[in-house]
Structure 1
Amino acid sequence: MASMKSMVDQSDWGCDLHGRDASRRQVTRRGFMKGGALALIGTSTIPAFLSRSVLAEVTTAAANKKKLVVLFQRGAVDGLNVVVPYKEKNYYAMRPSIAIQEKDVLDLNGSFGLHPAMTAFKPLYDQGHLAIVHAAGSPDTTRSHFDAQDYMECGTPGVKATTDGWLNRALQTEVLTGKPTAFRAVALGTQVPRTLQGRVPAIAVSNLADFSVAGKGPQTSPISNAFQAMYDESTDAVLHGTGQETFEAVKMLKSADPAKYQPAAGVVYPNTPFANSMKQVAQLMKANLGVEAAFSDMGGWDTHQNQGSVNGQLANRLKEFSDTIAAFWKDMGSDAENVTVVTMSEFGRTARQNGSGGTDHGHANVMFVLGGRVKGGKIYGKWPGLANEQLNEGRDLTVTTDFRRVLGETAYKTLGAKNLEIVFPGSRVSPSEFLNFSQG
């Protein structure tokens, strides 16, 4: 599997990777391979109303195994307006029109407060489920979205030659107690992200409604027909190994009625792509498919112009983000005890607002860790301050916690990834460096 490096090719699929144009294109094997893992193009609404007997053939992981959900906020979220250092006088001096006033913040500890749009996060913090790591980020100083995201997903800041992702390597270090299922590592989207690329097979899930099993009803799609044909004719171990399990799993999923899935009582997800992806993560996990690691992302955080303050562009994104994660948490119910969610973004934004009512590319940021075993209700990490002389390069919040310390602790305590030198080579991350926001 590691030798397969072919990508999802837009020349095969056209500009629309969600499958609308795919029926007019020839579906090739390349279209299903991404970074050594099998990607099911066009799969999304995964039903969770599946009996244990139906899943017996593919569910090999322990029913109560810990699960890690990694969320990437693409575009560089403004951490200073997410968890607001409202006691810092320079914060207000540097942000005359976009700062969140003290009277508006959701106070956390007398020095910091959440953006008022994040009301859904406050109870999670107060109940001790949500931990915050401020001034976290990469030791690499790049201000390029592409490079910074790549470095964080690969877990090797400043090294462009890394070919696999940190989360895939974390799964590689696990001590397996049984045969993993095809859904061990899953990404919500059209292709497997850098974070999950590597030797451990991973699948990308986007829209199951567009994926019909060939020959099973009037809605059979060209994509599924091609996948069935590839599966039937192939002698490749990729398709007749994990590929076989995946196809059988999809057939089992399709045999159930997706409409039967209902979130837990009182849970309402926002009607957005990110919320839909998180609802699917909940469905997959509650369906007992053997999911150990799940990945999703949310864009729209690059607020160079008209960022807003209490209301506006950033506020809208934060409300969607926090409402969605809170809905997911409630939806998981008692299963939440074994789930850990960690959030990340490629870098923060400048301490000073710019002339367009926004902020530019910065450095340190904020990370959230949510979980049943998380020691929440606390802000972790060393606060560097916002005085002019304390700023990175005179313009940004300074990084005091390497993001790999946060991810390393979640991988170690949630997935059991004990060899962190493999997960984050050269980082020197070890249990002695943990912030201890998790009970393990």
Structure 2
Amino acid sequence: MVSRRGFLRSGGLALLGVGLMGGIPAFLAEAAASDKIFRPYKKKKIMVCIFQRGAMDGLMAVTPFTDENLKAARPTLFLSAAKGGNTKPLIDLDGRFGLHPSMSAFEPLFKDKRLAIVHGIGSPNNTRSHFDAQDYMEAGTPFNKGTSSGWLNRAVGLLGHDAATPFQAVSLTSSLPRSFYGDNPSVAISSLQDFAIQMRGNPVGANMAAKSFEDLYSQTATGLLKETGKESFDAVKMLQKTDVRNYQPANGAVYPNTALGTALKQIAQLIKMDVGLEVAFTESGGWDTHFNQGSDNGIFARNVNDLSNCIVAFWNDIGAYQDDVTLMTMTEFGRTVHQNGTGGTDHGRASCNFILGGDVNGGIVHGDIKPLSVNNLEDGRDLAVTTDFRSVFSEVADRHLGISNDKVLFPDWTGKRIGVMRS
């Protein structure tokens, strides 16, 4: 007899892992339609994570503009909070830190104390390899490359209940991110319209996904299907009954027509459809700004404009669900304090991240950044990591999702939290 959890891990998600590019198969549609009782899923707390791949320059996103060392280190990149110059001024947050002018959409949320910023955040592992740093951060074990699971997958396992729906943990990406690898159920959806779902990280599930629905069902106990299959069918049926393609955001929200905007719009749809979503993930690329980074205009300005506008559109769109949602960004490392000879910045150490939600200790730039003189820089060149990313990730997971087992969530971490969430 297959256990309920075992079915959900290896079988239930394989129903969706087949890939439904041509629409819902008749077999599944018929089974879903035969269930005459439609029961929405109970609203739950939801955590949304955005990985900024490529290493965001935290010193340009949130600039310590009173630091003369930074001004000297970045003669063409530095922005001031003073008005009337040749460039757009920074948005003064607290007299010391200024938000990039292209992130003006964030200003009201910061003033409303719903948006918090953590500066000097990063990994204790000093690798400057994108691949390794992303892998360590998503695994949540900065000095162990052999960790088979991702920290978000472990978070799902610590929620305290089995998944009643295949949409408990969803990544709006073309393939499952490292954060979701592991034994607990999670899926990657490239598009709600196509409903093309891939799965990875579970050999049994992957093998079963290659089989037909009928083969899958023939291997599963009838009683178990009645328990788990109905819930999966309900979730699929809910998507079937919704005009996903012609979705209209609420509250005047306008999403940028970008990959991140599209992904966050679809996460908002899943949230408002009450399909049992609890952990969502997506990503934003283009942050590796070695060349022609720009100051108030250019590559970086376009990226932060997209990031902030997409997040604010998402936040406005979910409306009444805001109290149930916390959104957090992350990036593998930051950029060098000094600009390079091609008008960009190279791989550095610490960066900053943004946390948005009703239970966030917002309106504050958290973290400890010392003056950027050479003697305070890591290796004489980088903003030092003064906040371990795990101290922030664990605090968000604990305060928002009720996950308090740090030994499982981040096995090698014994640090302290910094108060980014309200107690």
Task: Give the CA deviation at 1:249.
Answer: 2.7
Task: Give the CA deviation at 1:360.
Answer: 0.4
Q: Tell me the residue number matched to 1:71.
A: 50
Which residues in structure 2 correspond to 1:209-358 (within 5 Å)?
A: 209-211=193-195, 230-234=212-216, 235=218, 245-246=231-232, 249-259=235-245, 261-358=247-344
Which residues in structure 2 correspond to 1:100-119 (within 5 Å)?
A: 100-103=79-82, 104-119=89-104
Q: Does structure 2 conserve the Cα–Cα contact (< 8 Å) formed by 1:40 and 1:204?
A: no
Does residue 352 of structure 2 align to residue 366 of structure 1? yes
Which residues in structure 2 correspond to 1:13-28 (within 5 Å)?
A: none
Deviations 1:322-345 (A, max 9, x none): 000011111111210111111100
Say which of 421, 424, 439 aligns to 2:410. Answer: 424
Deviations 1:169-213 (A, max 9, x none): 11212222x75321110000111111112121011111233349x
Say which of 196, 204, 209 aligns to 2:180. Answer: 196
Q: Tell me the residue number matched to 1:20.
A: none
Task: Give the CA deviation at 1:255.
Answer: 3.1
**Secondary structure of residue in 1 paired with 2:103:** coil
Deviations 1:263-309 (A, max 9, x none): 11311000111100000111100111111000000000000000000
Say which of 398, 406, 415 aligns to 1:412. Answer: 398
Give the Cα–Cα distance (whole angstroms) in 1 for the partners of residues 396 and 387 of structure 2. Answer: 14
Q: Does structure 2 conserve the Cα–Cα contact (< 8 Å) formed by 1:59 and 1:181?
A: no
**Secondary structure of residue in 2 paired with 1:307:** coil
Give structure 2 stretches of 5+ with no counterpart.
24-34, 83-88, 197-207
Deviations 1:388-437 (A, max 9, x none): 110000110000000000000011111111111100001014xxx22222
Deviates more, 1:231-240 or 1:416-425: 231-240
Q: Does structure 1 conserve the Cα–Cα contact (< 8 Å) formed by 2:51 and 2:282?
A: yes
Which residues in structure 2 correspond to 1:132-151 (within 5 Å)?
A: 132-151=117-136
Between the two proteins, the alignment pairs up a number of residues equal to 386
Q: Does structure 2 conserve the Cα–Cα contact (< 8 Å) formed by 1:41 and 1:190?
A: no
Q: Does structure 2 conserve the Cα–Cα contact (< 8 Å) formed by 1:79 and 1:365?
A: yes
| Distance change (3 Å), C-alpha of 1:384 and 1:59 | farther
RMSD: 3.0
| Distance change (3 Å), C-alpha of 1:147 and 1:262 | same
Q: Tell me the residue number matched to 1:438.
A: 421
Q: Tell me the residue number matched to 2:171.
A: 187
Give the Cα–Cα distance (whole angstroms) in 2 for the partners of residues 308 and 78 of structure 1. Answer: 12
Give the Cα–Cα distance (whole angstroms) in 2 for the partners of residues 377 and 231 of structure 1. Answer: 51
Say which of 89, 94, 104 aligns to 2:73. Answer: 94
| Distance change (3 Å), C-alpha of 1:42 and 1:394 | farther
| Distance change (3 Å), C-alpha of 1:391 and 1:179 | closer
Which residues in structure 2 correspond to 1:368-387 (within 5 Å)?
A: 368-387=354-373
Does residue 189 of structure 2 align to residue 205 of structure 1? yes
Q: Does structure 1 conserve the Cα–Cα contact (< 8 Å) formed by 2:18 and 2:210?
A: no
Task: Give the CA deviation at 1:237.
Answer: 5.4
Give the Cα–Cα distance (whole angstroms) in 1 for the partners of residues 389 and 405 of structure 2. Answer: 17
Q: Does structure 1 conserve the Cα–Cα contact (< 8 Å) formed by 2:8 and 2:185?
A: no
Q: Does structure 2 conserve the Cα–Cα contact (< 8 Å) formed by 1:74 and 1:298?
A: yes
Q: Which amino acid aligns with 1:156?
A: T
Query: Sequence identity of aligned pairs in percent?
Result: 45
Give the Cα–Cα distance (whole angstroms) in 2 for the partners of residues 134 and 338 of structure 1. Answer: 25
